[in-house]
Amino acid sequence: MSRLPTILFTLVVALPALAVGDTAAQAQDPVRHGRALVKQFCARCHSVTRRGRSPHADAPPLRHMGRTFDLDEFPHTLERGISSSHPAMPEFKFDHDDARAVRAYLRTIQQ
Ligand code: HEC
């Protein structure tokens, strides 16, 4: 009888805490988190590193984005939803933290 609360505690408190711990680790390192997001969502078309051509011929390498976009404003754009007039590019929306993480990473590759 007395063990039940322990088991419940483990399930209800400890397990979700593990999951949250993971997110907290990402939040501590926005650049790493941003790089993962950009790789997952953008790399199929854009070059997302300091060198190399974009897989999609029309997609500009994201390292040049700072030339045409104000990176300070870019998280707002990502939160509102970014799309392009180009039919190949789907619309993306990021939450507050992810949008800032994407910008943090993009800053590290600008040329
Ligand atoms: C399916 C392919 C595809 C994916 C995935 C994609 N894009 Fe694009 N993106 C394009 C293409 C093609 C263009 C060129 C659009 C044009 O010329 O109007 C573009 C243009 C852009 C531009 C405008 C660049 C400029 O200097 O005018 C930005 C910013 C951009 N993409 C950001 C992103 C981000 C951030 C992601 C990931 C969240 C992403 N894109 C994912 C295909 C893609």
Residue 12, CA distances (Å) to 15, 51, 103 in order: 6, 46, 35
pLDDT tens for the 111 residues of the chain, in order: 567 666 555 555 555 555 554 555 555 799 999 999 999 999 999 999 999 999 999 999 999 999 999 999 999 999 999 877 777 888 899 999 999 999 999 999 999
pLDDT score at 82: 86
Torsion of CA 71, 68, 91, 97, to 10 degrees: 0
> CB of 40 within 8 A of CB of 84?
no
> CB of 69 within 8 A of CB of 78?
no
pLDDT score at 39: 97
Task: For ligand 1, pick from 78, 84, 85 the residue to mutate: most ligand atoms within 8 Å of CB.
Answer: 84
Distance 91 CA to ligand 1 centre (A): 9
